[in-house]
Structure 1
């Protein structure tokens, strides 16, 4: 006596295989009390909008160079500005001029009731060291008069090539 095995359709086979696979949905890295520039960059690379970067340095330093997307909240206005614009459960990455200033600012926010505050160790120098995006007046050099003149740039390139030969 011959038994016949019923063939499953391709959609049924796919469904059976999916049921056997574990649920391995990738998740972004979590918030640490002391975060490195790599930790913040990993979160930003996930495209995660659920965080705020706070710069507690003075406005002059902020305008010269800052992490792209950071908001200015100088130390003397930190709690007032944070309470008026952020929820206490918001993920916050904070940095200052030094790691000591960063730690002080983080403690101030924690004492004010903010639950998820990460101290960004190394501040701007550490961020620049990993090629994190920076905004500010110092970071952008003024282009020369021929910067947008393609013909002039090609002429300069041709001259440079002749000199090399």
Structure 2
């Protein structure tokens, strides 16, 4: 009987120790989560104060706005030239991607995020507007027509490249 009491006492002590360990593990985990959340909030506050969030992209932009974004090194936008590839090769906005209007949606859909800021320009205002509308219809949320296209870009001193431009 004494032996049974001793065994029961050891079992109770073991169970109590197990409960204490489980409780300690839970408390440490909860504390770690709280510290992690606090760190995330602190980082967000610092980054939020240093790097302001971008205003929504307007349906139309002028060359000054785009040049300003480039000069400030703002991330996460793409410039699409929807003119014919031969014309693109002659001269285009430095860093723009060639996507002829007849291939635009098929090429943009698998390569660009739907939430990415996209500036579009073509050979004329009608072509540019058609390209922007095609992208919007394909589900791209932030598409802006670059008013005046390449000519406006050159007028503000924006960098260009290509066979004729060099």
TM range (shorter): 0.5 to 0.7
Which residue number corresponds to residue 52 of structure 1? 78
Give the number of equivalent residue pairs: 118
2:52 is the alignment partner of 1:27:
yes
d(CA) in 2 for partners of 1:34 and 1:133? 20
Which residue number corresponds to residue 134 of structure 2? 108
Which residue number corresponds to residue 99 of structure 1? 125
Say what the alpha-carbon RMSD is for the aligned residues: 1.6
> What does 1:1-165 correspond to in 2, within 5 Å?
25=50, 27=52, 30=55, 31-140=57-166
- Normalising to structure 1: TM-score of the pair? 0.68
Q: Deviations over 1:77-98 (max 9, x none)?
A: 0001000100100100000001
Q: Check 1:28–1:40 CA distance in 2 against 1; reply closer, same or farther (3 A cut).
A: farther
1:28, CA displacement in angstroms? 7.1
Structure 1 runs of 4+ aligned residues shifted over 2 Å read 23-30
Kindly name which structure, 1 or 2, has the bigger radius of gyration based on alpha carbons: 2
Preserved CA contact (<8 Å) 1:38 1:130:
yes
Which structure is higher in helix share?
2
Q: Which runs of 5+ in 2 are unaligned?
A: 1-47
d(CA) in 2 for partners of 1:107 and 1:73? 15
d(CA) in 2 for partners of 1:66 and 1:122? 13
Q: Deviations over 1:71-119 (max 9, x none)?
A: 0000110001000100100100000001111111000000000000000
d(CA) in 2 for partners of 1:124 and 1:56? 11
